[in-house]
Homo-oligomer: A and B are copies of this chain.
Amino acid sequence: MDFNQCACSGKNLARLVRPAVLALLTRGETHGYDLMQQLCGLAIYADAPPDTSGVYKVLKTMEQEGLVSSSWEPGGSGPAKRRYVLTRDGRECLRRWIETLEGYRSQINGLLAILRPDGKSSPSIG
């Protein structure tokens, strides 16, 4: 069995692209490509950058959900940029994400407590 292909390798922490994007948008409105760059700069995605197409799809979905709104950025050089802004709902969503992430953290702590009760070594593993 190839553990590097297993979920235990930590390849997929699903859906955290969403809060990450929302978080970055609080720094200031910007466009998808720049968001990608910023995401790659985060320690979270240091060794495994999120899929480009995926990020754009997340942005599109979030716009349909009303969490962000976009408009083509006028002027400027290079290809047209779609500029994203957090909406009121997006900020509310982000507020909930904070609680949710804290919930995740405590859930993970709960699991780890089962896995290593003494806080050091693994249980029942010789």
Pairwise interchain contact B91-A125, C-beta atoms closer than 8 A = yes
Determine the chain B residues whose CB is within 8 A of the CB of A65 once the complex forms. Answer: 1, 6
Which residues of A are interface residues toward B (Cβ below 8 A)? 1, 3, 6-10, 12-16, 18-20, 23-24, 26, 42-44, 65-67, 89, 91-112, 114-116, 122-125
Partner of A98, one of B19, B96, B122: B122
Determine the chain B residues whose CB is within 8 A of the CB of A105 once the complex forms. Answer: 105, 108-109, 112
Apart from A1-B67, A6-B93, A94-B115: 19 A-B pairs, beta carbons within 8 A: A1-B89, A3-B92, A3-B93, A7-B15, A8-B93, A8-B96, A9-B100, A12-B14, A19-B111, A20-B114, A26-B114, A43-B106, A44-B107, A91-B122, A94-B125, A97-B115, A98-B116, A101-B115, A104-B104
